[in-house]
Structures are given as C-alpha cells and as structure tokens.
Structure 1
Amino acid sequence: MTKELYNELYQITFAGQILDGFSEAEVRDNVKALFRISDERTASLFSGAPQTLKSRLSLADAQIYHERLTKAGAQVQISAQTAPAATPERDTGTAPPPASPESRQRNTDATGPLQETPLEFTGSGREYFGIWIVNILLTIVTLGIYSAWATVRNNQYFYGNTRMDGASFQYLASPITILKGRLIALAVLVAYVVLSDLYVEAAVVFAIVFIPLVPWIMVRSLRFNAVNSAYRNIRFGFQGSYGQAFMVAFVWPLLNLLTLLLLTPLVMKKTHEFIANGSCYGTTEFQLKAETGMYYRFFGKGLLIAIAFGVAAFLAMRYVGFTVGSIIAAVGYLTLFGYFMAGIANLFLNSVHLDSHNFESRLQPPQMVWIFLSNSFLVVITLGLFTPWAKVRMARYRAACTSMLVSGDLNHFVAAEQNRTSALGQELGDAFDVDFAAI
C-alpha cells in the first residue's frame, strides 16, 4: 500500500495511573462520569494494563481528550498511530467519548448516540438587581447615553450565566458600536419629525424611502446580535440575504392578507426558516427541518381552543351570567396565550439542527402562564422593583426546559470549528440592535 493512503492520527492510552493530588477513588468516579460506563468497566480501566481509550484522532482532538482526562486526574498518553485514510473512523476501545457529568444518553440514530446536554441558568434576582438599578440610574443621569452600556451589561449577565456542558455563553458587543447605531436612528427619527411638521409631502416621501430599508435593518440586526454572541470562544453568525428578509417582511404577510390569513402557519414557518437557515455557529450552518403540516396542525389546534372557549363564554354570558362568561373568556385567553407562548418556542427549537446535533424544548403552557402572571403581579405591587427577579425567573425556567442533543462528542465539534474559523475576519459593521427573533 502506498504512503499516500495513510494519514497521521493519534490515540489516547491509559494504564490506570493517577496524577499527584488526586485519590484513586476520586479519579475512578471522574472517569466513570466522563465516559458514562459501568463499575465493572471502570475497574478494568484501572487494572494496570495499558488500554486504548480513543483512537483515530487528529492532534487537536487528542489534545482536548488529554486535557479533559488530565483534569479528571488520569495520567493518559498521546501516541501517534498510522491508519488507512479510506477506512471509516472507529474506536478501538469500548468506552464512549468523554462528556460532561450532567450529560446523559438519550437515544441513538445513524450518526451515533445523542447525549442530552441541558442548559442551565445560574443567575439570581438579588445579584441582577444591582446591575439593573445602576443601569437605570446612570441612563437617567446621562440622558440615555448610558443605555448602550446598560444593554451590554444586561446581555453579558444573562449570557454569562447561561451554561451548557460546563461552559458559559458570551456577549461580545461594544457599547460604542451600539451607541453609534442608536445615534443614527435618533437622527433619522428627528429628521422625520421635523419634515412632518414643515412639509407633509416630504414626510410621505421619507416614509416611502424608508420602507426598503426595513429588510436591510432586519439582516443587520440579526447579523450584529449573532456575531457578538459566542460559545467556547466561537462566534455565531448570520448569513441571511436582503431578498429573504424582504419576503419575510412584506411579501409573505401581504399574501397572507390576500388569502384572509389562511397562510399564517406558512408565514411563521418562512420566518423560522429565514432565521434558522441564515444562522451559523462558526462555519457550520443551522437548519430548520420542519414540515409545513406541523405548523398548520399547531395553529389548527390553537384555533380549536379559541373556538371552544369562545363558544363556551358566549353561551355562559347568554344563559348563566355575564360574570361567569367573562371568567371563561379570561381563562380561554390565558390558555391560548400559554399555548402559543410555549408552543412556538418548542416548535422552533425542536426543528432546528446544527450538523448532526439538534435541540429539545419542553416548555409547558400552564407553567409559562403562571410565571408570567405571577411575575406581572409582583412587578405591579412592587412598583417595578421585582423586575430583575421576574427576568431571572423566566430565564431560569426557559433554560431548564432546553437541551442540546449532541451527536457523539461536542469537544470534537468545537475543536473543528476553532480550526476552521481562526482565520475568519471579525468585521462587525454598524449596530442595529433591533429585537427581531423567532420566539
């Protein structure tokens, strides 16, 4: 066989030795948790005989495995191996790849086992209150100029306290960039108000000219928010086009009106596709894999809920009393509110894939309604002072109901992205931090 048919690969070997500062029991527990293996298999790894834990790795991947196992207290070795390039990769050992202790096996498909890696929000209302109140006071004192710094501090707090697989998300935007974008928006608004007072015709022309800018602002906003978000030092990105944004902003809504709202589920799907398919993590693109029928079934069920409560409220008002009918109508509204608030997020996240990885959202409508109502009540009776606790409470629940289903090893995925994105430019452009999201 010729030399070209071989690639230089590496393997991780372990002979049961532990590093200084660790006890054997501690290392056994760490290795067992990392590899998710039985007590018998763990004992065999510590028998003293050299064993291959993982083979056919690139040097970067082997170094990641070495780091994870070293932190667990295991003295492992990286050694080179030569293997045919055309042969599919396989492990010579029987242990699965390392994962965080909180990850657990969910199911198996053609690409390998999916490990459920849950999100976790670690912030507290008391801690966030200090950031929130200072942001408000400084924004007032500076006549709104500090609002850009307030936005960054808020996002950094919520990103930094959202963790997955032992790592936090990052928000990297510059307050100066956001301030410049807001000053431009303010200048445009002032110009429009002045023109409206002086020349009505000029104001109309101004509004007409502004309409084509809406899709451009949508794309810039999504791109800015994405590229300033990162996980494990890899930035997200958004590559959606102006034409796609124009369809979502104008064409599909217009067609929906012309068909008497019969296209509402399709319009929602097109919006989700625009956001998901245009997004990427490093150089790997997200993809929405959902059938149009799923959206029609979701909205159809919502319509049936609305009709059922509407008929019940009408009959109660006519034959029982206005109060009873009003109560039924209120319960129906809250039921519908929770159904869409939780259901749209579940529908979107459960349909999103990132390469061979996907996501799971398990938000419950009753819980969402309860958190929303109780938060609103407490914010009102505390004259707004409960707001930090309300935001933290909702963020904690959303994170607790969201997981990433990782195919194989997330470390391998991250290492590959770091290698491929290291040479990418970091031109962020102007900030248009407009809130435009799928859920």
Structure 2
Amino acid sequence: MAVTVGIWIPWARVRNRRFFYNNTRILDDGLDYLATGFDLFKGWVVVTIILLAFYALPMLGVPFLQEGLSVLLLLVYPWALNKSLRFNARNLAWRDVRFDFHGSYLGSLWNFFLFPVIGILTLGLLLPMASRSMRDYIASRYSFGTAGFFSESSLGAYYGAGLKTLLLFLALFFPLMILLISTAAGAIIDGVSYAGEGNDSSNLALAVLNILMVQIHPLAFPLTLGFIFMVTGAYYRALTRNIMLGSLRLKGGVRFRSTVSGLVLAWIVVTNLLLVIVSVGLLLPWAQVRQYKYLTENTEIRPITELTGFIDRQSRAGHSVGDAVGEAGDIEVSF
C-alpha cells in the first residue's frame, strides 16, 4: 500500500508546483511549470534504488562498503543538485520564455557544502560570508531566455543581518533559559517540601506531580532551543532574502525588491507548525499557501526598460517553451 501511494508522489508534486506557479501572477500572467509526473518519476526511481542499496549494504557483511558508498554519495550530490536546479529552471517559463540554470560542480560543492561547514567551524564568524556567496552563486547562474541574472550584494549587509539575528537569539535565549531553570528548581524544592510533610495523600500527590515535572523538564530544553532556532532562522532568511533580491538584476533592465519582515515570517513559520501539528497535518496545504502568499506579495519586480520589447527579444532568441520539452529527464533532488 505504501509503495503504491509513493509511486504517485511525483505526480502530486507536479500538481502542487503548477498550482503555486500558475497562481503567481506577474503583470497578470502566471508562471508555467512544464514538467510532467513521469519526468519526476524517473528521478524518483533512481533515488529510491540508490537508497535501497545503501540500506541493504550492511546485510552483505562487507566491511567499509557502506562507508565508501556514503563518501561517493556526498561527492555525487553536488552534481545531482545542479541537475535538479537546472531541471526545475528549464521547466519553468513565463510568457513562453523559459528559465535556465548554469551551475558547476565545484561551484555547488563550495557554496552549498564546504563554505557553510567552514562558517560553522569558525563559530559563525564566516557564516554571513557563506550566505552571501551561496545566494550570489545561485543568482548569477540563473537566466531568463538569453538574459542572465546577477547580484551586487554587500558583504556588510549580510554581517548586519547576522548581527541582528544574533541579538534576537540572545534576547530569546537568556529569558527562556532562566524561566526553564527557575521552573525546574521550583519543582524540585516543592516536591521535597511536599514529601517531607507527612503521609497526607494530597501532599504525596503534589510531590509526585512535581517529580514528574522534573522528569519531563529535560524535554523542554531541546524544544525551547528548537523554537529559538526556528524563529531566528526564519528571521535571518527574511533579512538575507531582502538583501539578495534588493541587489538582484536581470540583464536587460529588470530590478527586484523584497519587503519581507523577519518577525512576521518567523510568526508565520511557528504558527504554521503548531497548526499543522494540532490538525494532524490537515492544515499543511493551507500553511504552505499562507507562507508562499506572504513571500510573493512582498516581492516586487521593477522594470527599468520597456518590458514588452524585452520579452519579445527573449522569445525570438529561441529559448521558448518548445525548446524545454526535450530537457525534462534530469534527476529530481529535493533541496
């Protein structure tokens, strides 16, 4: 049953993407997603076979075979990521002009893997630089027709976003940690005092309740940290998104602007998660639409030249929807 349902996942993903893209209106025209469920299904089969082989290797009893495959998968992943980004770009079009992605293996390896790890190892000192490098790499590798994108973002702006995020982290971390520690200490003290007041059943019940609170309390620390990282992560993502889109240009005369609020996005992310959990997943589609709608409504496209002529030039250049039909066989990797 699970296998049968899983087979239809690629078709569901195509319908999901078409819904979002077709309802994203730019000058009254929606985006077109050209891929089919079968295109994604081919990549899904390849990934499934690789994962099954990976988890079946320990049963063969061959030493270091799984470790070797793990290293191989890590080395292959940047290539697969490039294929995925290009597949999705070439199957996205607006006004019959398709997008494209021109990434390189070493570029993806450095910007998506090595540089972020270096940023973490430097205790976050180089993380803003890694964020800028990753976003500028993505922006400069996309194209719309024959026109390429490029970004001129400031490194200082990314460090400013990192500093604001750090201050928000500290503003949440210390009060919440003090609250948790004081609650745990109070529960222990109350439990001891209730237990020492004799064999009265109410006192014993209160003592047991406080002991249970202390036992459950350790779960509060990772949950609280998860909440803090969720808030600060959404906040930082909003700030860096605004920086990247504010500096993004499309060669030929198009600028962009993002006005996403970090605190509003954090509120949407946290409340979406809570509502999805409470509804046992039933509100997941609504939550996805809510976040996507907020992001798109706070994104502006600012043409600095006559846009109709620009679109006509891209269409005549031969990068139209018809050229993308034969490109829909690449591996699909969720990123």
Partner of 1:407: 304
Partner of 2:157: 294
How much identity, in percent, do the aligned residues show? 29
Give 1:421 deviation, angstroms. Answer: 2.4
Partner of 1:339: 235
Q: Residues of 1 paired with 2:282 and 2:299: CA distance? A: 28
Give 1:222 deviation, angstroms. Answer: 0.6
Partner of 2:73: 210
After TM superposition, the structure 1 = structure 2 runs for residues 47-196 of structure 1, keeping only pairs within 5 Å, are 142-196=4-58
Q: Residues of 1 paired with 2:168 and 2:146: CA distance? A: 42
Q: Residues of 1 paired with 2:131 and 2:237: CA distance? A: 14
Q: Does 1:395 align with 2:292?
A: yes
Higher mean C-alpha displacement, 422-431 vs 145-154:
422-431
Query: What does the per-residue CA deviation read over 1:184-243, in whole Å, with 9 as the maximum and x for residues that have no partner?
Result: 111111222222221232222222222221110111011001001111111100011112
Q: Does 1:244 align with 2:99?
A: no
Q: Does 1:428 align with 2:327?
A: yes
Q: Residues of 1 paired with 2:324 and 2:88: CA distance? A: 16
Contact 2:30 2:94 in 1 (8 A): yes
Change (3 A) 1:321 1:350: farther
Amino acid corresponding to residue 146 of structure 2 in structure 1: T
Q: Structure 1: where are the runs of 5+ without partners? A: 1-138
Change (3 A) 1:322 1:300: farther
Secondary structure of 1:336 counterpart:
helix
Partner of 1:351: 247
Query: What TM-score does the superposition give when structure 2 sets the normalisation length?
Result: 0.79
RMSD: 3.0
Q: Residues of 1 paired with 2:274 and 2:229: CA distance? A: 17
Q: Residues of 2 paired with 1:153 and 1:408: CA distance? A: 34
Give 1:249 deviation, angstroms. Answer: 3.4
Q: Residues of 2 paired with 1:188 and 1:395: CA distance? A: 32
What is the aligned length? 297
Give 1:254 deviation, angstroms. Answer: 4.2
Contact 2:231 2:270 in 1 (8 A): no
Secondary structure of 1:358 counterpart:
strand
Secondary structure of 1:353 counterpart:
strand
Partner of 1:360: 257
Contact 1:288 1:352 in 2 (8 A): yes
Contact 2:231 2:267 in 1 (8 A): no
Contact 2:102 2:142 in 1 (8 A): yes
Change (3 A) 1:400 1:258: closer
Change (3 A) 1:303 1:273: same
Change (3 A) 1:179 1:329: closer
Query: What does the per-residue CA deviation read over 1:336-357, in whole Å, with 9 as the maximum and x for residues that have no partner?
Result: 3442242232222222111221
Structure whose CA Rg is larger: 1
Partner of 1:29: none
Amino acid corresponding to residue 293 of structure 1 in structure 2: G
Contact 1:172 1:229 in 2 (8 A): yes
Amino acid corresponding to residue 205 of structure 1 in structure 2: G
Give 1:434 deviation, angstroms. Answer: 2.0
Q: Taking CA–CA contacts closer than 8 Å with sequence separation of 6 or more, which of the two structures ends up with the larger relative contact order?
A: 2
**Which one of 116, 124, 128 corresponds to residue 253 of structure 1?**
116
Q: Residues of 2 paired with 1:216 and 1:391: CA distance? A: 29
Secondary structure of 1:408 counterpart:
coil
Query: What does the per-residue CA deviation read over 1:262-304, in whole Å, with 9 as the maximum and x for residues that have no partner?
Result: 2111111111122111100011111111021111111012112
Give 1:420 deviation, angstroms. Answer: 1.0
Partner of 1:231: 94
Give 1:334 deviation, angstroms. Answer: 6.5
Contact 2:98 2:324 in 1 (8 A): no
Give 1:335 deviation, angstroms. Answer: 5.1
Q: When you count helix as a share of all residues, which structure comes out higher?
A: 2
Partner of 2:190: none
Q: Residues of 2 paired with 1:381 and 1:142: CA distance? A: 28
Q: Residues of 1 paired with 2:87 and 2:15: CA distance? A: 16
Change (3 A) 1:427 1:247: farther
Q: Residues of 1 paired with 2:256 and 2:271: CA distance? A: 28
Q: Residues of 2 paired with 1:374 and 1:425: CA distance? A: 39
Q: Residues of 1 paired with 2:230 and 2:119: CA distance? A: 26
Contact 2:136 2:153 in 1 (8 A): no
Change (3 A) 1:411 1:360: same
Change (3 A) 1:329 1:179: closer
Q: When you count strand as a share of all residues, which structure comes out higher?
A: 1
Query: What does the per-residue CA deviation read over 1:131-155, in whole Å, with 9 as the maximum and x for residues that have no partner?
Result: xxxxxxxx95833111111111111
Contact 1:316 1:322 in 2 (8 A): no
Secondary structure of 1:433 counterpart:
coil
